Amino acid sequence: MKLLDSTKFWIILIVILVASFIGGVLGNWTFIYLLDKYYGVPGGSYLTNTSPTSVIVRDTKQTVIDQDNRLAQAVSLADKSSVKIFKKQTSGVYQPKDAVVNAVVMTSDGWLMAMNNINPSTNWKDYEAVTYDRKIYTIESVTTDLVSKINFIRLANAKNLAVSGLVASQNLSTGQTLLALHFDGSVEITRLSRDISSIYSSDTLFTKLIISNPSLKDAYLFDANGQLAGVTYNGTVLAMNGVEKALEKLLTDGKITYSRLGINYLDLTRVFDREARTGALITTVNKDLPGVIPGSPADKSGLKTGDLITAIDDVQVNEFNNLTLLMQDYVPGDTVSLTVRRGKEAKKFLVKLDELMVE
């Protein structure tokens, strides 16, 4: 107890406290100085949630670099699924600029898609297809869809071809970056724009995309993962939904046919509806675009303008299941069950689809 009462004890205690305080302050200042010098974080910012301007600038630069690298990888992936078709040369040497058809691989066993205008009388024995890895194949057959003018090309004895994969229109987002790989080899960046349409036909066979620069040259459109999202040809941009369905029909039935329901409708998910309904409201646009087309399966089954189709074969028609896209799963001769609300009454209609005739 004698030591505690001494002046010497209090002097030592005060010296220790002062030294500790000074050491803490100097340590803190040193820590802040090093953060600012080597990491660009101004004093105090490490204690707050507010990001300083200098950090945002650094992150933005890195983000741009990362995006560029990702897009470059996407182009590389897309290139691997490309196939060029040439007129046979005795030299066996082909320059990319001399390709008569620019195609992309749809299946690993040799089905390709191409948008070039192809003469149906072409003798394909006089042509060769060259893949990205420089393998050469002969052409077994070419089938042209009369609606979309898309050509499906079958390579002979092909296997293990690089496939980019497909992305459906409903899995694309407004503002999403798309890469346009032009037929001439050039690359351009575009973005998916907003589609403000609300009136549709049940028999629209190919979903059209709206892009930020509609003046794009003919090109295949890929997303940032290198998946095929669409194709632009002669000013029209087609999503892959209908293309994939057309190829499925060709592989399954040996031909491409389209079913017909025969209505024009208002997609209630794209408008402001007081009753917050969803579905396809059969709507007359004008005398040339009636709600129910005379003589169509819809007309024969008793559907009327003003009917609201809420489901097809018990699958709800909503923002995730557009009626037109749902109809692409059917072929001529199929019978579908439509759930319809007419006024306050719910009804079921059985409709036998016929074939959409292509002129």
Query: Residue ranges of the domains in the chain?
Result: 77-155, 169-253, 259-355
Q: How does pLDDT run across 242-279, given as a tens digit for each residue? A: 899 899 999 998 989 999 999 999 999 888 888 878 99
Q: Note the pLDDT of residue 234.
A: 82
**Is the dihedral angle over the CA atoms 270, 272, 277, 280 positive or is it negative?**
negative
pLDDT over 70 for what percent of the chain? 83
- Quote the mean pLDDT of the chain: 85
**Block residue for tokens 């089905």:** 111
Residue with tokens 């100097």: 26
Is the pLDDT at 359 greater than 70, yes or no? no
Residues 164 and 148 sit within 8 Å (Cβ to Cβ):
no
Q: What superfamily in CATH does domain 77-155 come from?
A: Trypsin-like serine proteases (2.40.10.10)
Digit-coded pLDDT (tens) for 73-125? 889 989 999 999 999 988 888 998 999 999 999 999 999 999 878 888 899 99
First to last CA, the chain: 112
CATH architecture of 169-253: Beta Barrel (2.40)
Mean pLDDT of 236-241: 90
Distance CA 157, CA 139 (A): 9
**pTM of the entire predicted model:** 0.75
pLDDT at 304 over 80: yes
Averaged pLDDT, 138-147:
92
Instruction: Write down the pLDDT at residue 149.
Output: 85
> What is the Cα–Cα distance from 95 to 176, expressed in whole angstroms?
33
pLDDT at 335: 97
Same fold? 77-155, 169-253: yes
Mean pLDDT of 323-327: 92
Q: Helix or strand or coil: residue 28?
A: helix
Per-residue pLDDT tens digits for 149-170: 899 999 999 999 999 889 988 8
Q: How far apart are CA 88 and CA 216, in angstroms?
A: 30
What's the fold here for domain 259-355? Answer: Pdz3 Domain (2.30.42)
